[in-house]
Amino acid sequence: MAILVGRDTRLLVQGLTGRAATYHVGRMIAYGTQVVAGVTPGKGGRMHLDAPIFETVADAVRETGANASLLFVPPEYAAKAMIEAIEAEVPLLVCVTERVPIIDMVRVRHALRGTRTRLVGPNSQGILSPGVCQAGVMTTVNATPGGIGIASRSASLTSEVMAQTTLAGLGQSTTVGVGGDPVHGLSLRDCVELFIADPDTTGIVIIGEIGGSEEEEVAAYVAATRPRKPIVALVAGRHAPPERRMGHAGAFATDGGGAAAPKIAALQAAGVLISWNAALVGQTMAEALQG
């Protein structure tokens, strides 16, 4: 069992006819993901990658029964595309687009209120349930079905931890890239809640980084609920200089907060196991499950 996606996921792709989408969606189809439609204004009525192209998300949902959308839309148009999917009541929305303006994401967050849509991203590598469904741009080379749920702010570290948990014989139930932007949808805490409720997830890995307060929110939730499943956290950026953006738009620590040390301290106090090195996450989880 996975969170967010499964064998019943029927995916539409906004911007399917673009070059990046053509490449990555081709990989997803080869992996076994059900891609049932594309949406590209001005190209409705065509076929691309054996999927029908529609003018609007509402038309695609009505005609194909799509229940998830993946966005490959340029940043200046991404918010409009997200809001269109929200208004069409698509249950799951994954946005891999980078550099979406913050003010646009504020509007998207407002549009999400009171709806049934869950947004993952933007600036997300997507969601992967090994052997079941790939909705994103991540590598699948080291993915193996198993019991570890991974929620991450970093795409590259997700790939590393996925390889480690596979090497340790643990595998993954689902990996979720929440996105590296300061304003986004699903949070690390949201993922932890979903993984705790998932009977097939036996352990949880959180990959955090400097900037924002998501790791502290996870710590507060874990401290309040005391879940039985082991949770291992890696917080990148312990040696990052303050007031300098480090890769992701949201990876930015100031004197007012966002540094790695207080995040780690909060997680430790809540009972989360800390991996002090990216190369030790798989080993730390394996030991936690054994003990």
| Single pTM value for the model | 0.94
In 3D space, the residue among 192, 182, 151 whose CA is nearest the CA of residue 253 turns out to be 182
Name all domains of the chain by residue range, CATH numbers in brackets.
Answer: 10-120 (3.40.50.720), 141-290 (3.40.50.261)
The reported pLDDT for the residue numbered 237 is: 76
Q: Which amino acid is at 287?
A: E
Q: Is 48 part of the annotated catalytic residue set?
A: no
What mean pLDDT comes out for the span 71-81? 98
Please give the structure tokens belonging to residue 76.
């200046």
What mean pLDDT comes out for the span 84-113? 97
Q: Looking up tokens 């994401």, which residue turns up?
A: 105
Kindly tell me if the per-residue pLDDT of 256 is higher than 90.
no
Percent of the chain with pLDDT over 70: 93
What mean pLDDT comes out for the span 106-116? 97
**What does the DSSP assignment read for 210-233?**
SSSSHHHHHHHHHHHH--SS-EEE
Give residue-wise pLDDT tens across range 201-232: 999 999 999 888 999 999 999 999 999 999 99
Tell me what the pLDDT averaged over the chain comes to: 94
Kindly tell me if the per-residue pLDDT of 80 is higher than 80.
yes
What mean pLDDT comes out for the span 260-288? 96
Q: Looking up tokens 């590393």, which residue turns up?
A: 160
Angstrom distance (rounded) from CA 215 to CA 227: 16
Sign of the CA dihedral 45, 51, 55, 58? Answer: positive
Angstrom distance (rounded) from CA 214 to CA 191: 11
Of the pLDDT bands very low, low, confident and very high (cuts 50, 70, 90), residue 253 is: very low
Angstrom distance (rounded) from CA 70 to CA 33: 12
Distances (CA, A) of 285 to 187, 230, 232, 273, 275: 22, 8, 6, 9, 9
Active-site annotation holder among 24, 48, 184, 248: 248
Task: Tell me the HSE value of 172 on the side-chain side, using a 13 A CA sphere.
Answer: 33
